[in-house]
DNA sequence: GTCTATACCGTGATAGAC
DNA sequence: GTCTATCACGGTATAGAC
């Protein structure tokens, strides 16, 4: 904390600082005073860049959601067998999560106390449903193991992907790289899903 | 909210109400006013049962940790091949998580803002380490797939188990039961871990 | 673009009557 | 065991000078 990030702030560079603090202390556990200390400017100066604390949350969450939804439009996600599209989406979602780590982390921790948070949860549900549909089709194609429960499998798959935010830290020497993590997720998940 | 849970409270019955609210709004997002409404008694009456808001958190977290650690002492966790002990622990942890759902949920969401929260995180790390050791031994025994990275696998395994708190709701008709969920977790995880 | 000063309200917690 | 009344503090946000 109390890092001097000199030069004047843009809304985006201030957002980056804010999101880091939100993730460390939790959104509700972060006061404007905390943000002011971390950004190296006064509380009231923050209000020159954003209208409210909640606006910071909204901007961060939007960025995360955009990244996740964009994957569903990529060629690998819209053509081919459902099971292959599912594997593509799984890998890409893991990658986006790591590329936009702080923003997605914040999104995943939202609880629903404000309108912004409820909107975020609603969009997340939409997203999850689209992936669940893919899994459903893979099942209809006969490409899933017989003993797989679709709803349960969807949840465990997301559980594995989303848990990455709890421990992945970019560029940490000795630990797994972005691509290794994505590969491990895909391999582990599809060992339990794909018909041998 | 605003449920009348008449009869006088014991510390434990009050805790149950508080934990439910903490999980819905987040600990920092919950005020004593929220708790008072949910419990149907005044703010000051709550202080007759507990010394502080943080004490409620500590009690809840302790209960969760006790449940999780106790599994590691059970016969199935201390005798046999490491890979089998790991499978036993995985299933039992999933079960304990579902049996003590609200308490474990709260534990998993702690961020580290207070002494209580940092203590909880420390104990969680201890716990994770013990399971990681089991995975390590299973690897040394040659019971894991060759392409499994131990550290990564540990994290994905916990990610899957812990994600249960995000969606499992006991006794919800039509959805998977406690035992079905535990079985699915074990099956899915070990398909990616155990040497075929 | 940043500051100091401040308005105003909700917070966790206590005092003391019943 | 529960209540009303109250405290001291920190919360978000604004006003207006530089």
pLDDT for A45-79, tens place per residue?
999 999 999 999 999 999 999 999 999 999 999 99
pLDDT for B168-185, tens place per residue?
999 887 788 999 999 999
Domain assignment of residue B188, yes or no: yes
Pair (A64, A106) in one structural domain: yes
Domain assignment of residue B117, yes or no: yes
Pair (B26, B103) in one structural domain: no
The tokens describing A36, both together, are 């002011």
- Crossing angle between the packed helical segments A150-162 and B178-191, to the nearest 10 degrees: 60
**For position A175, what pLDDT does the model report?**
82
Pair (B16, B96) in one structural domain: no
Size of chain B in residues:
196
**For position A174, what pLDDT does the model report?**
77
For all residues of chain A together, what is the average pLDDT? 95
Which residues lie below 8 Å from residue B180, measured CB to CB, with a gap of 6+? A149, A152
- For residues A11-21, give the mean pLDDT: 96
Q: Which nucleotide is nearest to A45 (CA to C1')?
A: C2
Pair (B35, B118) in one structural domain: no
Indicate which CATH number applies to the domain containing A108. Answer: 1.10.357.10
Task: Assess whether pLDDT exceeds 60 at residue B2.
Answer: no
Which residue would you say has higher pLDDT here, B2 or A169? A169
Pair (B78, B173) in one structural domain: yes
**For position B6, what pLDDT does the model report?**
58
**For position B7, what pLDDT does the model report?**
74
Contact assessment for residue B97 and residue B164, using Cβ atoms and an 8 Å cutoff: yes
CB atoms within 10 A of CB B158: 24
Contacts of A154 in chain B (CB under 8 A): none
Pair (A188, A121) in one structural domain: yes
Share of chain B above pLDDT 90, in %: 90
- For residues B8-35, give the mean pLDDT: 96
**For position A172, what pLDDT does the model report?**
84
Mutation choice for B interface testing from A34, A94, A159 by most B CBs within 10 A: A159
Contacts of B189 in chain A (CB under 8 A): 188, 192
Domain boundaries, position A76: 58-193
Domain assignment of residue A4, yes or no: no
- Return d(Cα B160, Cα B189) in angstroms, integer: 8
Pair (B101, B184) in one structural domain: yes
Contact between chains at B176 and A113 (C-beta distance less than 8 A): no
Domain assignment of residue B154, yes or no: yes
Query: Hey, is the C-beta of A163 within 8 angstroms of any chain B C-beta?
Result: yes
Nucleotides of C strand lying within 7 Å of any protein CB atom: 1-5, 10-16
- Return d(Cα A123, Cα A69) in angstroms, integer: 9
Domain assignment of residue B144, yes or no: yes
Residue whose token pair is 């000199």: A6
Domain assignment of residue A74, yes or no: yes
In three-state form (DSSP H/G/I as H, E/B as E, the rest C), the secondary structure along chain B is CCCCCCCCCCHHHHHHHHHHHHHHHCCCCCCHHHHHHHHCCCHHHHHHHCCCHHHHHHHHHHHHHHHHHHHCCCHHHHCCCHHHHHHHHHHHHHHHHHHCHHHHHHHHHCCCCCHHHHHHHHHHHHHHHHHHHHHHHHHHCCCECCCCCHHHHHHHHHHHHHHHHHCCCCCCCCCCCHHHHHHHHHHHHHHCCECC
Pair (A44, A64) in one structural domain: no
- For residues B80-103, give the mean pLDDT: 98
**Per-window interface: A 36-95 vs B, CB < 8 A:** none
Q: Which nucleotide is nearest to B32 (CA to C1')?
A: C12
Indicate which CATH number applies to the domain containing A16. Answer: 1.10.10.60
- Return d(Cα A150, Cα B127) in angstroms, integer: 31
Pair (A36, A64) in one structural domain: no
**B37 CB neighbours strand D below 7 A:** no
Pair (A95, A186) in one structural domain: yes
Pair (A132, A157) in one structural domain: yes
Domain tally, chain A: 2
Task: Assess whether pLDDT exceeds 50 at residue B82.
Answer: yes
Pair (A80, A19) in one structural domain: no
- Return d(Cα B11, Cα B56) in angstroms, integer: 9
Domain assignment of residue B4, yes or no: no
- Our measurement of CA A42 to C1' C2, in angstroms, reads 8
**A2 CB neighbours strand C below 7 A:** no
Domain assignment of residue B3, yes or no: no
pLDDT for B119-157, tens place per residue?
999 999 999 999 999 999 999 999 999 999 999 999 999
């Amino acid at each position: 904390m109390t890092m001097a990030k000199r030069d004047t702030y843009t809304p985006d560079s201030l957002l980056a600082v804010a999101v880091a603090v939100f993730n460390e202390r939790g959104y509700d556990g972060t006061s404007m005073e905390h943000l002011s200390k971390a950004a190296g400017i006064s509380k009231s100066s923050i209000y020159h860049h954003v209208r409210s604390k909640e606006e910071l949350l909204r901007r961060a969450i939007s960025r995360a959601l955009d990244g996740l939804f964009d994957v569903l439009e990529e060629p690998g996600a819209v053509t081919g067998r459902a099971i292959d599209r599912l594997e593509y989406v799984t890998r890409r979602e893991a990658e986006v999560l790591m590329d936009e780590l702080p923003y997605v982390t914040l999104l995943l921790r939202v609880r629903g106390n404000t309108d912004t948070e409820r909107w975020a949860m609603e969009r997340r549900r939409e997203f999850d449903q689209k992936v669940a549909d893919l899994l459903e089709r893979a099942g209809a194609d006969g490409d899933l193991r017989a003993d797989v429960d679709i709803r349960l499998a969807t949840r465990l798959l997301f559980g594995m992907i989303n848990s990455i935010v709890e421990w992945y830290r970019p560029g940490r020497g000795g630990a797994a790289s972005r691509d290794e993590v994505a590969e491990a997720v895909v391999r582990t998940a599809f060992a339990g899903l794909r018909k041998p």
